Amino acid sequence: MNFMRTAVLMAAMSAIFVAVGALLGGQTGILIALLVAAGTNFYAYWNSDKMALASNGAQEVDESTAPELVQMVALLAQRANMPMPRVYVVHEDQPNAFATGRNPENAAVAVNTGLVAMLTREELAGVIAHELAHIKNRDTLTMTITATLAGAISSIAQWGMIFGGNRNNNGMGMIGTIALAILAPLAAMVVQMAISRSREYVADQMGAEICGNPVWLASALAKISGDAAVIPNQAAEANPAMAHMFIINPLTGQGMDNLFSTHPNVANRIAALDDLARQMGISGYMEGYAADFGGQSTSGPWQGAGDRDTSKWGQRRGPWG
């Protein structure tokens, strides 16, 4: 099912590529677009994880540089019965996280330093479990390929606007090309939305099951959604096609790229997690998270929220830069 979804997505994005090429350059444009789409799909399949990590300035960590984080990922991966992914840290104040990789054997989880500094151990476990769920479901392949193709579609449309099209070659002329430069990225965004919105709910549920308590993820979403909306993420703002990869929309609403959200409403996600918590016999987030976590240990592999020293996460030292 996941393979079929990825194939349909790649076909849809490729079709947009071909349509853009046809409108810009007629038959020649179709041929060029087909070649570019094929090359982009091939490159994205094998290298999309490297591109996503590099574009966000992610730096790999291990047990010697981030022992608590790496050990948490290892334990959650074991609980999810999946291979241990590589672990990365991004020096961004915005609290956020994403996962990438073409399959569970070649995957990575990246967390912003702002996320680690803000959340309790339980809440961080909920976020990481959510990202592991994306990896286990192979959503990461779909998301990273979508980001690559959407960015390429935007680029080819913008180049078409610069060169103005060619009426003698069945092109659209300047006015049509300007319209295409606006509509083509929006069409790619609609394809992204169709995939990513539903997958977030699935990853929320599976992530809650992996970490052992839906309330942890619900609380994390409530905490980080507000700050993510006001703290800029420069890498995401520069490459908005990758916004759907993050657990919370990283765009702060500056410009056209945020007209459509690639993420479900946070309140709806929390409500769904509350329902799941009640089904598991756990008090929901809305029913009094503070009472349940007031220094008390709860179900799952973690021993209480507590206050831990997070100062090291904000320092650029060792292999982190």
Q: HSE on the CB side for 83, CA within 13 Å?
A: 11
User: What confidence tier does 257 reach under pLDDT thresholds 50, 70, 90?
Assistant: very low
pLDDT value at 169 more than 80: no
Q: Buried (b) or exposed (e) across 230-264, using 16+ Cβ within 10 A?
A: ebebebbbebbbbbbbbbbbbbbeeeebbeebbbb
Q: Are 162 and 181 in contact, with CB atoms under 8 Å apart? A: no
Rounded Cα distance between 101 and 122, Å, is 25
What is the structure's pLDDT at 204? Answer: 96
What is the structure's pLDDT at 317? Answer: 31
**Comparison of pLDDT for 215 and 6, the residue scoring more:** 215
User: What confidence tier does 239 reach under pLDDT thresholds 50, 70, 90?
Assistant: confident
DSSP secondary structure string for all residues of 67-89: HHHHHHHHHHHHHTTSPPPEEEE
Burial class from Cβ neighbours inside 10 Å (0-12, 13-18, 19+) for residue 3 reads: exposed
Rounded Cα distance between 134 and 138, Å, is 6
Neighbours of 303 (CB within 10 A): 10
For range 223-249, the mean pLDDT? 86
* Mean pLDDT, rounded, of the chain: 75
pLDDT value at 248 more than 80: yes
What is the structure's pLDDT at 58? Answer: 95
What is the structure's pLDDT at 285? Answer: 67
What is the structure's pLDDT at 314? Answer: 33
In this predicted structure, which of 25-39, 42-56, 157-171 has the lowest mean pLDDT?
157-171
pLDDT, tens only, 73-84 = 999 999 999 999
pLDDT value at 201 more than 70: yes
Query: What are the φ and ψ backbone dihedral angles of 102, each rounded to 5 degrees?
Result: -80, -20
**Comparison of pLDDT for 175 and 38, the residue scoring more:** 38
Torsion-angle region of 58 (φ positive above 0: left; ψ -120 to 50: alpha; else: beta): beta
Residues belonging to the active site: 131
Task: Label the pairing between strands 106-112 and 86-90.
Answer: parallel
pLDDT, tens only, 99-112 = 998 889 999 999 99
Q: Are 219 and 208 in contact, with CB atoms under 8 Å apart? A: no
Residue 168 corresponds to which tokens in the numbers above? 């003698």
Q: HSE on the CB side for 293, CA within 13 Å?
A: 27
pTM: 0.73
**Comparison of pLDDT for 159 and 110, the residue scoring more:** 110
Rounded Cα distance between 140 and 136, Å, is 9
State the amino acid at position 81 in one-letter form.
Answer: N
**Comparison of pLDDT for 122 and 226, the residue scoring more:** 122
Residue 75 corresponds to which tokens in the numbers above? 């334990």
* Cα dihedral across residues 256, 144, 58, 213: positive or negative: positive
User: What confidence tier does 12 reach under pLDDT thresholds 50, 70, 90?
Assistant: confident
